[in-house]
Chain A
Amino acid sequence: MQTIQEIQNQIIDEFNFFEDWSEKYQYLIDLGKNLPEFDKKSRIDSNLIKGCQSKVWLNSSFKNDIVIFEADSDAIISKGIISLLIRVFSGQDPEDILAAKIDFIEKIGLNTHLSQTRANGLLAMIKQIKIYALAYQSKK
């Protein structure tokens, strides 16, 4: 299993190939399209993350001491961004999730392409991921 930092470095390497913002956006759009849609059962308000202009649902489960995240959104670029977050955080130990420093967003230059509204949404997603990790840590 790769560590959170290793996955982040891999994403940074992938984004280094892109020459301009439109290639980055196209990649996020493709990632968003490849992330499976939630069934209606999981697209419920209690899974909604507050603070996003588009709707983002985050679901989690805890098996064999690791946290599994699933997410969905009604907007495709948001969905691409959360698919990166899932790649980084899903399948990790709660302690590692809580200790993780997230630097890939800045390093792939995504922050400069996100409006303030969207950047706030992204922070809200990471916060919610850490809240789940904290809850599971106490269950261990």
Chain B
Amino acid sequence: MLDVYKIRKDFPILGKKVNNTDLIYFDNAATSQTPNQVIDAISNYYKENNSNIHRGLHSLSADATNKYENSRSIIKNHFGAAHEHEIIFTSGTTHGINIISSGLEKSISSKDELIVSEMEHHSNIVPWQMLCEKTGSKLKVIPINDDGTLDMEEYISLLTPKVKFVFINHVSNTLGIVNPLKEIIDLAHKNGSKVLVDGAQGAAHFKINLQELDADYYVASAHKLCGPTGVGFLYGKSELLNSLPPYQGGGEMISNVTFNKTEYADLPHKFEAGTPNISGVIGFGAAIDYMNSIGFNNIEVYEKELLDYATENLKKIDNIKIYGDINNKISVISFNIGNHHPSDIGSILDQYGIAVRTGQHCTQPIMDHFNIPGTVRASFSFYNTKSEIDLFIDAVKKASKMLG
């Protein structure tokens, strides 16, 4: 059982006032809040260990390196990777995707096909469109059904021998729908295709085991998991990462440099050119430790309770339409009320100190599918409460009444 009021004390920002009222933060799918345990880890790094990693012989550098590499080990263990060198630190999910898309430029040809889905975030669409432009390969799209789920029959029929890669999100950032990842990956592998999973929304809400999933690549960001912004990781199976060319050249990623020939370093350093976001990586490790101290099972159960409570009460509001209202989803609700523009609802909610997201959520194809300008998206985290949801429901009703 999770004690939400005790947990809330870990998050200084949750005590903040916005527009003279208590902040209610329901934009967790965009960025989760940061507990003291993470803030302290970052702050202590600068107070105690700040120095460059991997290169220095002195004690400070050794301490910083240990802390940095300890985060790699925390993340490897938490996500169930086979080896620490399969975890590459990045600036976030988008960076991870771009390492792979640029790495595939030489190995993908005009005869190949790539698959994305209609529910992808733009960051899991645009890099592949760019790859197709460069290589002449073809991008195919798994459509979604009207309930927001993937059209799996269509997916199966798109899986032709020409398909080299499938790029799919674990969880839709807009709808919260959890995709049948294991099935998607198994079908792709039977077809001889590799799979990259955009885990930006999945990683924060339940425990994941990458080896069980058998994902070829998995990318995620720390700031969705109570960690700092500007840091994330790319997981890849060793043999795949070894076969990719480096993304950026620079220090750290080499083993030998001469003007005749430079040899690249082994994994993971091959993909970590330059001085990394050391404090961010240390904060990321602290965030995973923090979430594990609460327990992902507890988080999953409690967030489901919040989701069901909010969904049930929102549905009582006249003319509400919830998109992707299925059972298998994380604590995200995307909705509209009548013909009111989502930005109108969002602006009024902000006056009540309630932070939600409005707009297209970087998923224009989903909006086009439903023929809407956007949605209001409320996303809950394990530190939110039912009484916050009551205030939110009340404010949505008031907004709807004001807009007439």
Interface presence of A127 (CB below 8 A): no
Q: How far is the CB of A53 from chain B (nearest CB, A)?
A: 5
A36-75 CB contact bits vs B (8 Å, 1 = yes)? 0000000000000000011100000000000000000011
Interface presence of B99 (CB below 8 A): no
Q: How far is the CB of A137 from chain B (nearest CB, A)?
A: 33
- Segment of A18-26, A82-90, A94-102 in the binding face: A18-26
Q: In the assembly, what is the distance between CA of A29 and CA of B340, in Å?
A: 11
Which residues from chain A contact B344 at a C-beta distance below 8 Å?
Answer: 29, 54, 75-77
Interface presence of A33 (CB below 8 A): yes
Q: How far is the CB of B402 from chain A (nearest CB, A)?
A: 6
Please pick, from A22, A33, A75, the residue contacting B341 in the complex, using a CB distance under 8 A: A75
Interface presence of B343 (CB below 8 A): yes
Contact present for A77 and B404 (CB under 8 Å): no
B347-360 CB contact bits vs A (8 Å, 1 = yes)? 11011000000110
Contact present for B359 and A53 (CB under 8 Å): yes
Given A25-B348, A55-B373, 14 more pairs with CB closer than 8 A: A21-B19, A25-B402, A53-B359, A54-B343, A54-B344, A75-B341, A75-B344, A77-B344, A77-B347, A77-B348, A78-B341, A113-B19, A115-B350, A118-B347
User: Interface on A for B, CB 8 Å cutoff?
Assistant: 21-22, 25-26, 29, 33, 53-55, 74-78, 113, 115, 118
User: Interface on B for A, CB 8 Å cutoff?
Assistant: 19, 340-341, 343-344, 347-348, 350-351, 358-359, 373-374, 402-404
Could you give 15 example pairs across A and B, Cβ below 8 Å? A21-B19, A22-B351, A22-B402, A25-B348, A33-B404, A54-B341, A74-B373, A75-B341, A76-B340, A76-B344, A76-B403, A77-B348, A113-B351, A115-B350, A118-B343
What 4 pairs between A and B have smallest CB-CB spacing?
A75-B341, A54-B343, A75-B343, A53-B343
